[in-house]
Amino acid sequence: MHICVIGTGYVGLVTGACFAEFGVQVACVDNVVSKISMLQEGKLPIHEPGLHELVTKNLREGRLTFTTDITKAMEQSLVIFIAVGTPARADGATDLRYIDEVADSIGRCMRDYKVVATKSTVPVGTAKRIKERIQAAQSEPIAFSVVSNPEFLREGAAIEDFMRPNRVVIGGEDAHALAIMKELYSPLYLIETPVVITDIVTAEMIKYAANAFLAMKISFINAVASICESVGANVQQVCDGIGTDSRIGPRFLNPGIGYGGSCFPKDLMAFRAVAKESGYDFRLLDEVIRINEDQRQRFLKKVRSVLWTLRGKRLGVLGLAFKGGTDDIRESPAILLVQELLREGCQICAHDPAAMDRAKEVLHASVEYTAGPYEAATGADALLILTEWEEFAALDLGRLRKLLKYPIVIDGRNLYDPAIMSAHGFSYYSVGRPASLTEDVAAGIRPHKREHS
């Protein structure tokens, strides 16, 4: 089968490369000429584990092509995936400008039957809008079907999520289009992947409901962590205690400085707007969003209370990406915290294994970037852990202790066991767990308050 994927962002590129790996003939389309030239040479504009190998292999074997010419890409394609960006408008609703432009182009270029599948996360009802725009742009009526096929790809694990998904959701209205979509995903039948077939609005709804539920899980455990801090309980043990209940499950229960990224913040706002438009006041989502924002403020308050005063303090920062395993800093709680700490007069020395180049674009020269985590810690008044990179969870604690000016670690991702940190002589603060304190550290840091205030 021949398909084309319009939009070569994270979702479009992963979708295109993975379908090519399934043996499908894929044309990826984008209107940014420089991006397409890069991709034609096998160079990737994003960091995603395993994607480069997949793109170069399928380019070489001729199953994957990149073009700016949508007419040419559509010619032989039976299925056209729309994977363009759906940014948020100022009021939280989704800006459908790019979706509309693509729908118009599809309508203008259509010469025979096509299945048009939305991969981008779009408000409930968008498939209907796409259908109407395609019809309006056609010079003569040509039959086509619109289906919704939402993605559930996690950045950093997107290839794995595509190749071994928990499920595939396809929303459609005619049996022919659904059969074509099912055939496209047929390699997944070998690993017995459930395929959930629904109508279109239900498929659109599934995507929002999934992301909102996951975000709710994170905000729930973060709220529990805050109470744990007040009553002296240990949130990690609460997670073990509740996560072993199969009705709750252990995943997505890591407390921290809140969720970020290109999906959760945007999708929650959009879902809230969709609910409002439908006449339902989804106050639960307001709370999920509020708790998430509070979580950063609570962390900041913790840093302030540990260090007494922030002005002039030198802080080592581990992590700038919105989560481990990616170079993406969109809506990253780490970046938002660094910006706040800079405003409060801290000197920041930061390291991130992948996101420093992107961070430089928003933090400018005000941050010192280091080659590794130990360099970021050198001479610092305290070390902050802001992103859950695996390499930050296995640091040489003896070496770290010697490099820091004061052995203070404030961990926003609960990467360490407080007892082990204590045994290594650290004053260790984390989220939702009692702090492990070292007396001489507190005594050492406090005179700074008098010097600077």
Annotated catalytic sites, by residue? 263
Q: Which residue has the tokens 């280091």?
A: 370
Q: Nearest-CA neighbor of 258 among 291, 286, 287, 283?
A: 291
Out of 3, 153, 168, 356, name the contact with ligand UDX by CB under 6 A: 153
Measured from the CB of residue 413, what is the shortest distance to ligand UDX in angstroms? 8
Alpha-helical runs (H) found in 232-259: 235-243
**Binding segment (CB under 6 A) for ligand UDX, from list 22-30, 149-157, 180-188, 362-370:** 149-157
Out of 254, 309, 370, 430, name the contact with ligand UDX by CB under 6 A: 254
HSE, CB side, 13 Å, CA atoms: give it for residue 140. 3
CB atoms within 10 A of CB 67: 16
- Among residue numbers 216 through 245, which ones bind ligand UDX (CB under 6 A)? 218
271 lies in the site for ligand UDX, by CB under 6 A? no
| CB burial of residue 42 (10 Å; 0-12, 13-18, 19+) | middle
**Binding segment (CB under 6 A) for ligand UDX, from list 148-156, 170-178, 233-241, 279-287:** 148-156
Residues 6+ apart with CB under 8 A from 155: 10, 48, 261, 262, 323, 325, 326, 328
The token duo for 445 is 């840091």
260 lies in the site for ligand UDX, by CB under 6 A? yes
319 lies in the site for ligand UDX, by CB under 6 A? no
Strand extents, DSSP E, 248-407: 314-318, 347-351, 367-369, 382-385
- Among residue numbers 320 through 359, which ones bind ligand UDX (CB under 6 A)? 322-323
Binding mask 277-306 for ligand UDX (x = CB under 6 A): ------------------------------
Out of 22, 98, 185, 252, name the contact with ligand UDX by CB under 6 A: 252
Q: In what order do the strands lie in the sheet with 382-385?
A: 367-369, 347-351, 314-318, 382-385, 408-411, 427-429
Apex CA 70: angle with CA 185 and CA 68, to 5°? 105
Measured from the CB of residue 150, what is the shortest distance to ligand UDX in angstroms? 8
- Among residue numbers 358 through 417, which ones bind ligand UDX (CB under 6 A)? 388
Measured from the CB of residue 309, what is the shortest distance to ligand UDX in angstroms? 29
Distance CA 171, CA 447 (A): 63
Measured from the CB of residue 323, what is the shortest distance to ligand UDX in angstroms? 4
Out of 264, 369, 392, 428, name the contact with ligand UDX by CB under 6 A: 264
154 lies in the site for ligand UDX, by CB under 6 A? yes
The token duo for 336 is 């938002």
Q: Which is nearer to ligand UDX, 284 or 423 (CB)?
A: 284
Measured from the CB of residue 246, what is the shortest distance to ligand UDX in angstroms? 17
Measured from the CB of residue 197, what is the shortest distance to ligand UDX in angstroms? 19
**Binding segment (CB under 6 A) for ligand UDX, from list 124-132, 140-148, 249-257, 425-433:** 249-257
The token duo for 55 is 């793109």
Q: Which is nearer to ligand UDX, 155 or 327 (CB)?
A: 155
CB atoms within 10 A of CB 209: 12
The token duo for 142 is 């040509």
Q: Nearest-CA neighbor of 165 among 136, 143, 190, 201?
A: 190
Residues making contact with ligand UDX (CB under 6 A) = 151-155, 211, 214, 218, 252-254, 256, 259-261, 263-264, 322-323, 388
